[in-house]
Structure 1
Amino acid sequence: MTTSLHPAVERADLLTGLKRYEEARELLARRLAEDPEDIRAWIELARTHLGDKENGAEALAATERALALNPEHIGALLTHTSALRIGGRFPETEGVLREVIRLAPDYWFGYARLADWLWRLRMLSSGKSNGGQIQREDMTAGLREADLIAQEAIRLGPEEVYAYEVAWLIADMSGDHAAAARMDEAILRLDPQHERALARRTRKAATAPGVKAAEAATLYADALASTPDSTPMRQGLDAASYRLLRGLRWLALLCLALAAAGIDLFQTDGETQRELPLVLGQRLWDLVPMAVIWGLGALLRYRRLRAGVRVNLLSLIRRLAWARVVLGQAAWAMLCALLITQVPWTERTVPIVLFWAGLVPSLATMWFDRPRNG
């Protein structure tokens, strides 16, 4: 019986890692023709079937051949559990995984895999026994049982990310947010670029009460620097960038309100409205607060943004129709504000129309477009 890894099996393992399953199977077929008792070759053959369209039947056949040669081979047993799950025999995996733990009580992965699947198995069993309805007490008991096993996996493999991932999932399913946060910290300690843990931590920080859009965008941009291919981080950056664009609309509406106040657009009790038309100096002076608002609220703020956030703002405007709508509404409101203040009106009828024309489109969509960030 072959115990060492044959060069052909080693090459097949590399090909499987590259998802070149057909080539790997050709190598393994030749190897097994030479030595049909090569357990590692049978295991690797099963892995090619699991990776290529998840062919459970072929994978099961290969692992059963391996286990026929050595029923206590840990690698064969673990691969067999994957084949059972893909092959529609998921409930059988618990017994096999408990056998792995019996044979290798100090091997962390057996515990981690059992914890990962056990609570799912308990829920399936509960649903099957209760007409498709999972009982809460069964779910709680299953998660508690799985958590104890996951903690043992962490004790045996304190530097193994997968053990913490399983513990995080169990804590999250249990609603124990504090424990889930501790698991995320442990995961990021071991793997600072772990995509899912980094995404969860960044989302939590970016959506915390009081966090402004620019801060949220910076958090997501920092996370993307570590995980540039992370879809959740890109979506989060888009959402924060969209909030920044919505902020521009508020600036425009503030300028519109100042324009209305500048020519006493609406009469108040006990006060006499300014005489129209306003003199040129007054009309020019009305531009000053608007310039300050845009200079401090938009230009300076934009210049302080990280380069990646500024690039994403421009990209979002090109990609997202609602971003262009919001930007257009801000521009329209500012145009109305400028017309109200800079044209020497002799009566207030047209300025009032302009005021409502600038205000209503934004108010009509201000809350509706809140979720339209991507």
Structure 2
Amino acid sequence: MTTSALHPAVERADLLIDLKRYEEARKLLAQRLSEDPQDVRAWVKLARSHLGDENNGAEALKATQRALELDSEDIGALVMHAHALRGAGRFLDTEGVLREVIRIAPAYWYGYALLADWLWRIRAIRSGQANGGQVRREDQEAALRESGELAREAVRLAPEEVYAYEVARLIMAGDRPAAERLDEAILRLDPQHEQALARRTTRTADAPGIKAAEAASLYADALATAPDSAPMRSGLDQASFRLLRGVRWLALLCLALAAAGIDLFTTGGETQRDLPLPLGQRLWDLVPMAVVWVLGALLSYRRLGAGVRVNLRSLVRRRTWPRVVLAQAAWSMVCALLITQVPWTQRTAPQVLFWIGLLPTVTTMWFDRRKNN
């Protein structure tokens, strides 16, 4: 197992690869290898550069084979050789290479983690090849058990390495309590881990009893930590749309208040008010509507976090259904105002307004529950 330090040129090339400046790295490595073709680390880094921008598994494989000719037990060369084999379309051959890594370096956590990550996939492919494209359940379960044991060993050897927990979480995704514990371990090590943060936020936001405003706040807070997370942006949009859908209920409540204010429908044999209603009564009918909007919308909106308020406005600009929802709420309110403020002498026209304000909104409410586009 080689432990030699990197040559300065190879070290610079490694930094260039980290910066995704692969072509510059290859030029530097080519110069270094022309000076010393026995530099194992330079061959390994050359393979890494080929797997970077070009995903050229064939060239990477040539480089790792040259490195292994120089030192067949170099761990870095073996690990990169496994990646090169996968890049070259020889994924099934990686198992033997990674088992060799574990044999040579039984205390090296990454060998266990990478084999755990790939083994269950390799076994699924082999099972499918042997059974006419169908993966046998017993083969899958055996592969997951073995992969789980390897992942647990990786975590034991390196309890501070995020990748070990990521692999364990992937394998144990079907065990919800274990998966949640692993997500918490990942977030303890990396509070900005995008996938684990998205999963935890989604679990919390989707829990029973969580209101739309609470869910939106959870997603907005999580996005402040991981602003590029597509799942959390989608979750925030969904929660924001739920908030907008609530606006229609306020408008429908105002429509019902308008109907009650003009005694639009007879109930229990009571005598309906004489029409037209006095101006004072018509103006007074506006008061409960104003209370509904102030308490139900304005104050609720002001209590929302800045991120949620910004997303609400953005969602209306970006998506069609939020605009439809607001248009329906506005239409219902127009009908409510016409019912209360016009001095009607007959109830036929207000009744028509009531139904055309109610029906288009109610008939779409069940349909747009999951719409936000």
Which TM-score bucket, shorter chain as reference?
Answer: over 0.9
1:101 aligns with 2:102: yes
Please name the residue that 1:274 is paired with.
273
1:297 aligns with 2:283: no
Displacement of 1:360: 1.8
1:211-262 alpha-carbon deviations (Å, 9 max, x no partner): 1110001000110111112111111111111111111111111111111122
The one-letter amino acid paired with 1:259 is A
Displacement of 1:285: 2.2
Displacement of 1:2: 9.8
How large is the RMSD of aligned CA atoms in angstroms? 1.3
Q: Hey, what's the Cα distance between the residues in 2 that align with 1:308 and 1:275?
A: 50
Q: Is the 8 A contact 1:316 1:323 kept in 2?
A: yes
In structure 2, the residue corresponding to 1:261 is in which secondary structure? helix
Change in CA separation of 1:280 and 1:2 when aligned onto 2, cut-off 3 Å: closer
Q: Hey, what's the Cα distance between the residues in 1 that align with 2:178 and 2:61?
A: 37
In structure 2, list runs of 5 or more residues that go unmatched: none
Q: Is the 8 A contact 2:22 2:49 kept in 1?
A: yes
1:46 aligns with 2:70: no
Q: Hey, what's the Cα distance between the residues in 2 that align with 1:315 and 1:120?
A: 41
Q: Hey, what's the Cα distance between the residues in 2 that align with 1:369 and 1:177?
A: 30
Q: Hey, what's the Cα distance between the residues in 2 that align with 1:360 and 1:130?
A: 56
Change in CA separation of 1:2 and 1:69 when aligned onto 2, cut-off 3 Å: farther
Please name the residue that 1:27 is paired with.
28
1:138-164 alpha-carbon deviations (Å, 9 max, x no partner): 111111111011001000000000000
Please name the residue that 2:211 is paired with.
212
Q: Hey, what's the Cα distance between the residues in 2 that align with 1:337 and 1:296?
A: 18
Displacement of 1:284: 2.0
Q: Hey, what's the Cα distance between the residues in 2 that align with 1:7 and 1:248?
A: 64
Q: Is the 8 A contact 2:258 2:340 kept in 1?
A: yes
Change in CA separation of 1:2 and 1:225 when aligned onto 2, cut-off 3 Å: closer
Q: Hey, what's the Cα distance between the residues in 1 that align with 2:83 and 2:350?
A: 72
Identity percentage of aligned residues: 73
Please name the residue that 1:133 is paired with.
134
Q: TM-score by structure 1 length?
A: 0.97
In structure 1, list runs of 5 or more residues that go unmatched: none
Q: Hey, what's the Cα distance between the residues in 2 that align with 1:292 and 1:132?
A: 64
1:261-309 alpha-carbon deviations (Å, 9 max, x no partner): 2212122342222221122222222222211111111000000000111
Q: Hey, what's the Cα distance between the residues in 1 that align with 2:141 and 2:254?
A: 56
The one-letter amino acid paired with 2:7 is H
Displacement of 1:369: 1.8
The one-letter amino acid paired with 1:137 is E
Displacement of 1:51: 0.7
Please name the residue that 1:62 is paired with.
63
Q: Hey, what's the Cα distance between the residues in 1 that align with 2:75 and 2:233?
A: 40
Structure 1 runs (4+) deviating above 4 angstroms are none
In structure 1, the residue corresponding to 2:89 is in which secondary structure? coil
Q: Hey, what's the Cα distance between the residues in 2 that align with 1:279 and 1:2?
A: 95
